Chains A and B, each alone.
Chain A
Amino acid sequence: MSARTISEKILSVKAGREVHAGEYVICNVDRVLGTDASSPMAIDYFEKMGGERLFNPSRVLFAFDHYSPAASPETAAFHEKVRAFAKRHGADLCDVGEGISFQLLAERGGALPGSLVIGADSHTVTAGALNLFATGVGSSDLAAAMITGQVWLRVPHSIKVTLTGTRTAYLSAKDVALALVHMIGADGAHYQTLEFHGSALPSFTLEDRMVIANLGVEMDAKAAIFPADAATTEYLRGRKVGLDAPVTADVNAKYSREITLDISRLSPRVSLPHAPDNVVPIEQAAGTQVHMVFLGTCTGGRVRDFHEALAALNRAGGAIAEGVQLVVTPASREVADKLRADGTLERFETLGAIITETGCGACCGTSGVIPADGMNVLSTANRNFKARMGNATAAIYLASPAACGAAAATGRITDPRAERAAR
């Protein structure tokens, strides 16, 4: 047996034979995820395909996250359609307020090391933080998987990403992720998996790893996979549903490319409008006026992110600057409950922030707050395409929760390491 990457090992198990990068395989999937944005169309395909039942209802999860809550009768009708389908077929349904699909899968212990997850949401790759192969598909592939329990895939080549050095105070996982997007480019990981290695990994929590894996798709990666270690075990404790099968890459595995990033001297990063890979060190964007700060999404909507943002906001003055709208959207109910229990949400509320329902929020202009004409938005999200947040004249900048927290206090893009000096 020749040396294999994590991707090759997982897909070999799921294809039932030893497979290597470049081969086309049909794999059995462990979990299938749909959202309120992708499932209504998947249900149409399911019916056109003559689908009668789900391959395994307990393996299929629908989450209402993009339209949370529905803001029109038409959107409400999409929700009703998915509710009725889930009820008829016995699938798991996470209704409005529960959270983002793959976040829920992880929280409920269904994102298991060694497994194969497909989701009709490109950011499904996030679940790879838990040492599994998770990839995004469209509604028709989702429908086919709902019926067959299978997906065809080209076994991807892998890019070995080695993180070395020492993590400094105020360095966010988002800074590492944006630095990688810049190094690799918007299509640099085309058809490939990012597989993470390196001595710096223990300094990144599971939530941090989700941030980094999440941005994989902004490099067009098919999956982004971390090794399983103590952080993985810790996260799965008390959650795990089923058996996990952690996967390690063979020492001599072949990679399409190897990238090393020394995080010791990495400064905070900002992605400028209108492309996620338009990344600069924060020094080059500092001073830019900010009208809206958005904390949330599948990139920056977890407990650690809000703690990081609030701490930075406090260091930078402890009040929201005049003329700044601060929007807080937890990624899931579990996240919101924890933030409520530890006083974080109350603190944000007291400061005057808008706390919205959990889910994708303002990220793609489908629920939550829409920026006004000409506004500059600083966001913890993953995409800053023109019009992404529902207004083509707004300019979206992407940064870490710390940088967003600092900007909420100063009204300008602010290096979160230098807030005291800036005041």
Chain B
Amino acid sequence: MIALEGRARRLGDNINTDYIISSARKRDTIDEHVLKQWLLEHVDAGFAASVQPGDIIVAGKNFGCGSAMEVAVTVILAAGIKAVIAQSFSRTFFRNAINNGLVPVQCDTSKFEEGDTLSVRLDGSTPVVVNFTKELTIAAEPIPEVMLRILESGGIVQQLKIHRLLAASHSTQPS
């Protein structure tokens, strides 16, 4: 069970991974605690300084498009953000998020604004988002079982450590 509460940080459509953290910044370090000072620098120069642990990113469609670079996920986590709610995600970002325990929630974010008070609960496969400011409760897109298992094990590192194989006791394998 995952239960998060926080303040919405509103972003737009097609936020690519280079905007989350630029390729040039990560050339000399992949330490997310160093890189977080440049989080979203070309979208909002004040973002990194104003981010607070517990903040929840809210975005439009195709969040995390472009490069598959995984620091785009780890740098968000390093800033204390544990969930991203978006209209849709690019597939590589979605995978990387699940693999590292960042909760990617897909739902209609059109009414969400900067500063809204939000909660995200994941109990089972369907995340439930509450926007207290707008008095909205939204059942988000269910997270596929294969991803839920990874998220619930605490990420792909834990899953591999425990099972050694992706295929271990998996229901999608031929019976």
- Footprint of B on A, CB under 8 Å? 16-17, 23-26, 37-38, 40-41, 44-45, 48-51, 66-67, 71-72, 74-75, 78, 120-122, 136-141, 143-144, 147-148, 150-152, 154, 186-187, 190-191, 220, 222, 275, 364-366, 383, 385-388, 390, 392
Q: Secondary structure of the B side of the interface? A: loop
Closest CB in chain A relative to B146 CB, distance in Å: 5
Which residues of chain A have C-beta atoms less than 8 A from B19's C-beta? 385-386
With A138-B69, A140-B70 known, 12 other A-B pairs at CB within 8 A are: A23-B172, A37-B27, A72-B27, A72-B28, A74-B29, A140-B156, A144-B156, A364-B18, A364-B23, A386-B42, A388-B18, A392-B42
Q: How far is the CA of A168 from the CA of B69 in the complex (A)?
A: 38
The answer to whether B172 touches A365 (Cβ under 8 A) is no
Partner of A150, one of B28, B157, B166: B166
> Of all chain A residues, which has the CB nearest B62?
A187
Complex CA distance for A41 and B21, rounded to whole angstroms: 15
B residues 126-154 in Cβ contact with A at 8 Å: 144-146
Give, as a whole number of angstroms, the nearest-CB distance from B102 to chain A.
Answer: 12
Instruction: Flag whether B100 is at the interface (Cβ < 8 A).
Output: yes
14 A-B residue pairings within 8 Å (CB atoms) = A26-B172, A49-B156, A122-B92, A137-B95, A139-B70, A140-B70, A144-B160, A148-B164, A154-B144, A187-B88, A190-B90, A365-B22, A385-B16, A385-B66
Query: Could you tell me if A138 and B65 are in contact, using CB atoms closer than 8 angstroms?
Result: no
Within B149-175, the residues touching A (CB, 8 Å) are 155-157, 160-161, 164-167, 170, 172-174
- Of B18, B27, B173, the most chain A CB neighbours within 10 A belong to B27
Would A50 and B160 be within 8 Å (CB), given that A74-B29, A220-B91, A386-B42 are in contact?
A: yes
Verify B62–A220 contact, CB threshold 8 A.
yes
A138 touches B27 (CB 8 A): no
Interface residue tally for chain B (C-beta within 8 Å): 47
B96 touches A152 (CB 8 A): no
Contact flag A383-B18 (CB < 8 Å), given A138-B92, A150-B166: yes
Residue of B nearest to A190 (CB): B88
- Chain B positions within 8 Å of A390 at CB level: 22, 24
Task: Verify B90–A220 contact, CB threshold 8 A.
Answer: yes
Bound-complex Cα distance A147 to B26 (A) = 25
A141 touches B156 (CB 8 A): yes
- Minimal Cβ-Cβ distance residue in B for A389: B24
Smallest CB-CB A-B distances: 10 pairs: A74-B28, A187-B62, A138-B70, A364-B23, A49-B160, A365-B24, A138-B96, A140-B99, A122-B68, A139-B70
Instruction: From B16, B65, B96, B144, give the contact of A24 (CB < 8 A).
Output: B144
Residues in B whose Cβ lies below 8 Å from that of A222: 91
Is B118 interfacial (CB-CB < 8 Å)?
A: no
Q: Identify the interface centre among A16, A220, A222: most chain B CB within 10 Å of its CB.
A: A220
- Asked if B52 is at the interface of the complex by the 8 Å CB criterion, the answer is no
Asked whether A151 lies within 8 Å of B61 as measured between CB atoms, the reply is no
Q: Is B37 in contact with chain A by the CB < 8 A criterion?
A: no
Known contacts A148-B165, A190-B88, A191-B91; A45/B157 CB under 8 A:
yes
Q: Flag if B66 contacts A122 (CB, 8 Å).
A: yes
B71 interface residue, CB < 8 Å from A? yes
Partner of A75, one of B27, B91, B92, B96: B27
- B22, B70, B88, B164, most chain A CB atoms within 10 A: B70
Q: Are A37 and B172 in contact (CB under 8 A)?
A: no
Closest to B174 in A: A17
Task: Say yes or no: is B30 at the interface (Cβ < 8 Å to chain A).
Answer: yes
A162 and B134 alpha carbons, distance in the complex (Å) = 46
Assuming the contacts A140-B100, A187-B90, A220-B90, asked whether A49 and B157 have C-beta atoms less than 8 A apart, the reply is yes
